[in-house]
Structure 1
Amino acid sequence: MFPLTTRQSGAVRLAGGDFVLPRWLRRPARFMQRVNAGEVEAPRYGATIASALLLGAAVAYGTVAGGHMPQVVEAVTARTGFAIAKVNVAGNRETSEIDVLQVLGLDGWTALMGFDAEAARERIAALPWVERAAVRKVYPGTVDVDIVEKLPFAIWQQGSKLFLIEKDGSVIVPFNGSKFASLPMVIGSGARDSGPAFIAKIDRHPDLARRVRAYIRVGERRWDLRLDDGVTVKLPEAGEELALATLSRLDREEGLLSRDITSIDMRLPDRLAIGLSPESAEAHEAAMRERLGLKKKSGARI
């Protein structure tokens, strides 16, 4: 080490040159000069303390360099009273709290300080029924989860499979015969996307809408209606709104849908074809025979 000299100005210089030490180094330089001169006695256990400090610094550096600092902070804070002890879930009806807890990934020692609320929100939002979610940390050890769920609009049948869908046609979950069985059913290819808009047209005729149980997409071109008593109404490819208005009027004025029929074919613009049940067909045939004077005689052939 170079010897140090101090001039009257207080500047510390190297004896062999004119370099002036920065002010913040002058006090440590003087201290080291006194240590070298034997004027300063090392404290008791100084070597042990210095070794411990060196080891602690090495551990801290390794922790930071290895990217383990978040785990260390979490472990320390969890054991000092900041572990997540309670989760409040609100707004869930179809999403179980067990599913929420599973995606949160809590292990009983998860510290609130190191808990990533945004990542947890994204995982919860990915659950099938969840439309959106909010996750908040409440110190010292509580997590609040608020959920807004999707609203099922209809049941979509594709082949032999059934799904609950939203109003925009998005699939929520497979349908399992739950409490949503009263929802309208849309059937066929293309029904998932175009069904909501078509159902809105039916809703303009409330008396008719109350009786419809299924909306069947035929060839991705037109619709059939399946009513609650099994009657099938075949609508035209074009002019379906006029056909619906006509059907609603005929039912209101003549009770068409209350008759003993099996189908109503409205695909042709200038006529209405009505399918009769076997009993109605037989009664109709008998009435026609009577009108034509072909009353059946006992043992006679017609």
Structure 2
Amino acid sequence: MSALMWGQGKGKGVAGPALFSLPLSFDHFVLPRMLRRPVRILARLGEGEFQPPRFSAAIMSAVLIASSGAYGAYLGGHADGIVQSITARTGFAVDQVKVVGNRQTSEIDILDRLELDGWTSLIGFDAEAARERIATLPWIEVAAVRKVYPHTLEVRVEERQAFALWQQGSDLSVIEKDGAVIAPFSGGKQVLLPLLIGAGAPAKAPEFLAKIEKYPDLATRIRGYVRVGDRRWDLKLDNGITVKLPEDGEDQALAELVGMDHDKGLLSRDIAAVDMRLSDRLVVQLTPEAATQREAALNEKPKMLKRKPETKI
């Protein structure tokens, strides 16, 4: 304690403690406990009493160079690259990727969003940034990226649910039930989706298609749902017949249509259209061939009557 009590018990003219030959004379001053040992070592070093370990200068120089290099890399924005390079070559390079939950999205597109270069370290890999990039893919609704040490990435995705195809002019898109466009039509199993045509069709389609589902036999024959003037629907059937439904009373019109087809085979005849827009009547339009045949038959009927021999009494 006497060595740390500077100026105590000393008479006038007695030299006080010195650090590197610099006099320190603070009367009645005691250093804090945490500083006593470092100051004592520095004082001994200044008086030549302390001998540093061998190679301490070389070690200190190496530490200084390394710290300077690390600080320079940090300032230059290269710290992440250095960490990636070192850890990738010590057994943490990503060499396996597991993708789960994708059906419409290709694994190639997902791998492209991960931005792996063959020497990407799992330690320095930014999983959150990769998740955000994957979430920008058209079909992806939810994405999660997880690191599985030492060298595996696991990607789990949930995709948006396709409801129908929507045609506007020459554009054909896959849409969700709320009408949001998912992606352009790309073929495959998407051809099995209901085809909606015309402006306003996506907004009205969920309710209308629920009505059609009550008549499975009719539903399987419909190839297109055309929204006309955003007021009513036309049904395009697989044999080319167009059914023009009324603006109001869709449920009753559908029930009558199915009933007439069941009883009289209406939708299997050689006709072009069934017009149900008028509440008090049903109009059937013949195909050009059927109209020609019907006209010929009507023209032939008077001739047949004239040729019929008169009956003598």
* CA-to-aligned-CA distance 1:111-134 (integer Å, 9 cap, x gap): 101112222122112212223222
1:161 aligns with 2:171: yes
Between the aligned partners of 2:3 and 2:140, the Cα distance in structure 1 is 75
Between the aligned partners of 1:252 and 1:148, the Cα distance in structure 2 is 43
1:272 maps to a residue whose letter is: L
Name which of 171, 174, 178 aligns with 2:181.
171
Alignment partner of 2:278: what SS?
coil
Between the aligned partners of 1:221 and 1:34, the Cα distance in structure 2 is 98
1:180 maps to a residue whose letter is: Q
Q: How does 1:232-243 map to 2 (within 5 A)?
A: 232-243=242-253
CA RMSD of aligned residues (A): 2.8
1:88, CA displacement in angstroms?
1.5
1:275 aligns with 2:285: yes
Q: Which moved more, 1:221-230 or 1:146-155?
A: 146-155
Between the aligned partners of 2:167 and 2:26, the Cα distance in structure 1 is 95
Q: Which moved more, 1:243-252 or 1:212-221?
A: 243-252
1:100, CA displacement in angstroms?
1.2
Between the aligned partners of 1:119 and 1:78, the Cα distance in structure 2 is 19
Which consecutive unaligned segments of at least 5 residues does structure 1 have?
Answer: none
Q: State the partner residue of 1:41.
A: 51
* Contact 2:225 2:236 survives alignment (8 Å): yes
Q: State the partner residue of 2:264.
A: 254
Q: State the partner residue of 1:215.
A: 225
* CA-to-aligned-CA distance 1:157-199 (integer Å, 9 cap, x gap): 1101211222322222222443422322111111233223322
Between the aligned partners of 1:62 and 1:20, the Cα distance in structure 2 is 40
Q: State the partner residue of 2:42.
A: 32
* CA-to-aligned-CA distance 1:15-46 (integer Å, 9 cap, x gap): 33233211010011111111122111233343
Which consecutive unaligned segments of at least 5 residues does structure 2 have?
Answer: 9-15, 18-23, 308-313
Between the aligned partners of 1:177 and 1:28, the Cα distance in structure 2 is 77
1:162 maps to a residue whose letter is: L
Q: Which moved more, 1:227-236 or 1:85-94?
A: 85-94
Alignment partner of 2:30: what SS?
coil
1:149 aligns with 2:159: yes
Q: State the partner residue of 1:102.
A: 112
Once the two structures are aligned, what percentage of the paired residues are identical? Answer: 56
Q: State the partner residue of 1:17.
A: 27
* Contact 1:82 1:113 survives alignment (8 Å): yes
1:285, CA displacement in angstroms?
4.8
Structure 2 length normalisation: TM-score?
A: 0.83
1:294, CA displacement in angstroms?
6.4
1:181 aligns with 2:191: yes
The number of aligned residues is 292
Between the aligned partners of 1:266 and 1:124, the Cα distance in structure 2 is 49
Q: State the partner residue of 1:200.
A: 210
Q: State the partner residue of 1:6.
A: 4
Q: Which moved more, 1:68-77 or 1:186-195?
A: 68-77
Alignment partner of 1:102: what SS?
helix
Q: State the partner residue of 1:58.
A: 68
Q: Which moved more, 1:183-192 or 1:99-108?
A: 183-192
* Contact 1:223 1:236 survives alignment (8 Å): yes
* Contact 2:228 2:234 survives alignment (8 Å): yes
1:279, CA displacement in angstroms?
4.2
